[in-house]
Structure 1
Amino acid sequence: MSSDVLQASRGLSPPKGEAIAIKGISKRFGSIVGVDNVDLHVEAGEFLSLLGPSGSGKTTLLMMLAGFETPSSGSITLGSRDLTHVPPNKRGIGMVFQRYALFPHMSVAQNVAFPLKMRGLAKAEIAPLVEQALARVRLQDYGGRAPAQLSGGQQQRVAVARALVFQPPVLLMDEPLGALDKKLREELQIEIKTLHASLGVTIIYVTHDQEEALTMSDRIAVMDKGRIQQLGSPVSLYHEPNSSFVADFIGKMNFLKGIVSGLDDRSIAITVSGQTISVARSQLGGRDDVAIGRPVQIAARPESLSPTQNGEGAIAGDIETTIFLGSHRTLIVRSDDGTQLQVQVPSSHRDSGVEQRGRAFVRLDPGAVRVFAGED
């Protein structure tokens, strides 16, 4: 019986998570590169999400961490242990899949007990650990049921309990909420985040849902083409993306074409849709090769645009449609130069004078945009 499980069976505090060091990891499938020379350090107890579109390499990277894929090169270290070539059942890592992977012929309690049985624990030792694990996911009264008698959300919680029952230092989650409806998915996001805070386990979470990653993560690694394009906190990625790809992938974003019309050590003047705005050089993401007369791309969140009755200094256009989203409305505006803009207006502003359709003027907040140089 391992010392960690022994601690849990005696009612002691669960062990904290361990750090993971990924160095130069690559995975090739013939001529196709799935993961390309990735370096990543995950802090002990951190909740880190791997976020990216299909084919970005996030799941392949997770499978190498789990031991289900063998790296073509590089190393994986958990704490002081080299896991690079350790088989999955020897890694001591918990894993939760999108499709639950519960055994249909076993009860809920038997499913949760399975990892403990594989580790050679006696029945008397297993029972309290299973009870504790089910209580953590609020299913303590469901141990005798079959998986088929549970809802999708309940089945996923059983899968989480099974992954945590042997007190692993690391929990890997591969799109675990992807099969659930939006409301249930949002509820389980909060449950998983709360569980993480109480246990201190290290979680690496794969998702293609950027809202999910923003909600749950301490840090996010945005992946594309097998590489990490940017790594940072949800706030930094949302407000300070380093490329148009990250800007577009994290949250909703408007992109406007501009031309540099002035330049000094601290600021950049940009002409966009017939108006000139001034932005700080610190708002420049990616390459710092701006020059007067060169094109730039301005990235502006919908909340950094606002409708105005005064056309002076504003972008003129026509409202194509209005979308009501509860806490806010989104105006879809087609500017006079043909650019489609999303403008977010709080629903509480009922008397703002914003029409459902017709002519509109949109003011851009220069201090809330991101600028990318050399992008047509």
Structure 2
Amino acid sequence: MADNDANIPNGRTTLLSARKGEAIKIHGISKRFGSIMGVDSVDLHVEAGEFLSLLGPSGSGKSTLLMMIAGFETPSAGSISLGGRDLTRVQPNKRGIGMVFQRYALFPHMSVAQNVAFPLKMRGVSKAEIGPLVDQALSRVRLQDYGGRMPAQLSGGQQQRVAVARALVFRPPVLLMDEPLGALDKKLREELQIEIKTLHASLGVTIIYVTHDQEEALTMSDRIAVMDKGRIQQLGSPVSLYHRPNSSFVADFIGKMNFLSGVVVGLDDLRIKVAVSGQTFDIARSQISGREEVAVGRSVQVAVRPESLSPAQEAEGAIAGEIETSVFLGSYRTLIVRTEDGTQVQVQIPSSQRDCDIPSRGRTFVQLDPSAVCVFAGKAD
């Protein structure tokens, strides 16, 4: 048996059901490229069996961090362990980790079955055992009848399913996925998101998933690590990141967000009063995000999701504006409204309200739900 087969338990024919995910601990990991710090002192604990996404814009360090976990990049500092085993200087082929890339990386001269069998051959698994394991892996991704085809005979989605089967066939405790759906169209991407999530639930493997698509991360993840400038800016569940972002960067990057300029006009131990576009809103202090203190007279940003704004009649607390355009998006409509102070906001209206008398252009008022906002301290006046 090859020396990189430590991942295969005794009784190999139970390979796809014998192992569960293992925890990954990352401590003080950094990666410097000359004068550029690609990843800067990251600490991260991924629970066994967890689906964690690394989310961020291009250049945020998410792929570099993933490549260090895989062993394709060497850390400048810090350590990586898997199930208590130090992997920091271990060669990639000896880490026992599955990897799925954006561009499939299938061998074009091999059939589907041969591609999936390749990791098993490299681990010294006998021919008699390989066949059932390959069949089981292809069945997992709904390609049980495609073993004899060549990669060029498959669609993009089918090729990515083969890549997933190949990464899972030796039943690794950890699966790393680097923007695996980025080359697919929207509909197919959404279908495969659900399939990967279903596979994760059935296998219990630990998955670390890199994406720049915030909707993808929200759909698939147990937790999300939002990265920027080589650091984790916030780590939490999709719900907590969406509703309680800790910075304006995270608020803007996760989902759609409106930012309204305001000034603190009053505060006590429990609440603050913020003036926005000629209206005053009473907001709980627990809705203040970030580390900066607020004080009367201080400028703030009031962040509110489009679905927490609604068209209204002129009334106290309603912000006046002009509807610039209306966009129909199937399950909801989006009104683009320019407030009187020049701020453009998006107002999301469920399509179930299609019978309401909402103009597509013209003067309107926007009602803000004070309980659904986040407040970020701006520059002091």
Query: TM-score, length-normalised on structure 1?
Result: 0.98
Superposed counterparts of 1:210-225, under 5 Å: 210-225=214-229
Point out where structure 2 has 5 or more consecutive residues left out of the alignment: none
Q: Deviations over 1:302-335 (max 9, x none)?
A: 0110001234321101100001011100000000
Distance 1:91 1:176 in 2: 20
When the two chains are superposed, the root-mean-square deviation of aligned CA atoms in Å is 1.2
Are 1:278 and 2:286 an aligned pair?
A: no
Is residue 167 of structure 2 the alignment partner of residue 163 of structure 1?
yes
Q: 1:362 aligns with which of 362, 366, 369?
A: 366
Distance 1:45 1:325 in 2: 36
Change in Cα spacing, 1:5 to 1:160, as seen in structure 2 (3 Å) is: farther
Q: 1:128 aligns with which of 101, 113, 132?
A: 132
Partner of 1:243: 247
Secondary structure in 1 aligned to 2:348?
strand
Give 3-state SS (helix, strand or coil) of 2:353's partner: coil
Find the aligned partners of 2:314 and 2:7 in 1 and give their Cα distance. Answer: 70
Identify the residue that residue 184 of structure 1 maps to in structure 2. Answer: 188
Mapping of residues 48-63 of structure 1, within 5 Å: 48-63=52-67
* Partner-residue secondary structure (3-state), 1:303: helix
**Cα offset, 1:216, TM superposition:** 0.1
Q: Paired residue for 2:30?
A: 26
Tell me which residue corresponds to 2:46: 42
Per-residue deviation at 1:87?
0.4
Mean Cα displacement is larger for which, 108-117 or 10-19?
A: 10-19
Q: What secondary structure, in the 3-state scheme, does the structure 2 residue paired with 1:9 have? A: helix
Deviation per CA, 1:314-367: give whole Å up to 9, x if none. Answer: 110110000101110000000011000000001111222210111110010000
Identity among equivalent positions (%) equals: 81
Between the two proteins, the alignment pairs up a number of residues equal to 376
Question: Aligned ranges for residues 46-195 of structure 1 at < 5 Å?
Answer: 46-195=50-199
The answer on whether the counterparts of 1:244 and 1:372 sit within 8 Å (CA) in structure 2 is yes
Q: TM-score, normalised by structure 2?
A: 0.97
| Matched-pair contact (CA < 8 Å) for 2:15–2:133 | no
CA distance in 2, matches of 1:20, 1:61: 13
What is the CA–CA distance in structure 2 between the aligned matches of 1:351 and 1:152, rounded to whole Å?
Answer: 41
Deviates more, 1:234-243 or 1:312-321: 312-321
Q: Quick check: 1:4–1:14 contact (8 Å CA) kept in 2? A: no
1:55 and 1:43, CA in 2 relative to 1: closer, same or farther beyond 3 A? same
Contact 1:319-1:331 within 8 A present in 2 as well: yes
In 1, Cα distance between the equivalents of 2:156 and 2:86?
36
Provide closer, same or farther for how the CA distance between residues 59 and 40 of structure 1 changes in structure 2, counting only shifts above 3 A.
same
Instruction: Give yes or no for contact 1:289–1:374 (8 Å, CA) kept in 2.
Output: no
- Pair 1:353-2:357 in alignment: yes
Match of 2:346 in 1: 342
Are 1:254 and 2:251 an aligned pair? Answer: no
User: Structure 1 residue runs of 4+, over 3 Å off?
Assistant: 1-8
